[in-house]
């Protein structure tokens, strides 16, 4: 069996042995595939969305920060775990996604609990007047090291950081592109810093979970 075939067989097995995607997320998933065939791989999708939802539900955060909204799929998954008074702040630089994000959040019944900030996360994160129990970094890869530095003093003690695409298709093993180098730098930092307790989970394109202990 070819390596690629083995990987896709494992991915199929993983989906088959995880709870099914609910109808709201499935509709958003299918619509995104239709509307953005070339950008569709950016969507967390199933079962990674379920994984995000479970981490959030276990953590019951008061404040969540998401960097990189796209159509709001992961936003919905994360918002489902908020505590009763909790709020999620999500940052997206593409203003053209505004109506679609709002429509999707409304469909999932989480629109009242989510604040969408449109603009560059590099400029917006330092201005945020909150401490976060849960942060999901999933925007432009070259700024990953900056994002981690910027959120470090906005984490609550014991707060959880999730970073997506930390395997970058395996390129982190021999990083040559600016994106692979930036992700590798982030991985090295989170694994070696005594401020973070970190595990890189080889789900999909790699998702790192780091707990702020510093
Ligand atoms: C991988 S997608 C997010 C996917 C989404 N988190 C999910 O899992 O469904 C990355 C998003 O980050 C946005 N983005 C890229 N650079 C950004 C920046 N500097 N500030 C804010 N958003 C940015 C892109 O426009 C894109 O919509």
Q: How far is the CA of 68 from the centre of ligand 1 (A)?
A: 3
pLDDT per residue as tens digits for the range 179-198: 999 999 999 999 999 999 99
**By the 8 A CB rule, do 101 and 123 touch?**
no
CATH code for the part of the protein at 3-212:
3.40.50.150
Is the model's pLDDT at 112 over the cut of 90? Answer: yes
Name the residue at shortest CA distance from atom 27 of ligand 1. 70
* CA dist list (Å): 141 to 171, 180, 183, 185: 13, 8, 6, 11
- 0.95 exceeded by pTM: yes
Q: How far is the CA of 2 from the centre of ligand 1 (A)?
A: 33
Question: Ligand 1 pocket, 200 CB below 6 A?
Answer: no
pLDDT per residue as tens digits for the range 53-72: 999 999 999 999 999 999 99
- Give residue limits of the domains in the chain: 3-212
């Amino acid at each position: 069996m070819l390596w690629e075939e083995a990987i896709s067989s494992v991915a199929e097995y993983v989906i088959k042995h995880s709870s099914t995607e609910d109808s709201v997320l499935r509709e958003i998933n299918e619509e995104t595939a239709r509307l953005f065939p070339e950008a569709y791989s950016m969507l967390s999708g199933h079962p990674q969305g379920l994984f995000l939802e479970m981490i959030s539900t276990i953590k019951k955060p008061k404040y969540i920060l998401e960097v990189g909204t796209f159509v709001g799929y992961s936003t919905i998954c994360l918002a489902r775990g908020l505590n009763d008074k909790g709020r999620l702040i999500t940052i997206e630089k593409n203003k053209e996604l505004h109506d679609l994000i709002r429509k999707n959040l409304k469909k999932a019944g989480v629109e009242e609990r989510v604040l969408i900030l449109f603009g560059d996360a590099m400029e917006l994160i330092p201005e945020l007047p909150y401490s976060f129990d849960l942060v999901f970094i999933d925007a432009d890869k070259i700024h990953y090291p900056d994002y981690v530095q910027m959120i470090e003093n906005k984490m609550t003690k014991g707060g959880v950081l999730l970073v997506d695409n930390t395997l970058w298709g395996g390129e982190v093993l021999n990083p040559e592109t600016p994106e692979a180098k930036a992700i590798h730098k982030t991985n090295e930092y989170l694994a070696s810093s005594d401020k973070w307790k970190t595990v890189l989970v080889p789900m999909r394109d790699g998702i790192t979970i780091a707990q702020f202990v510093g």
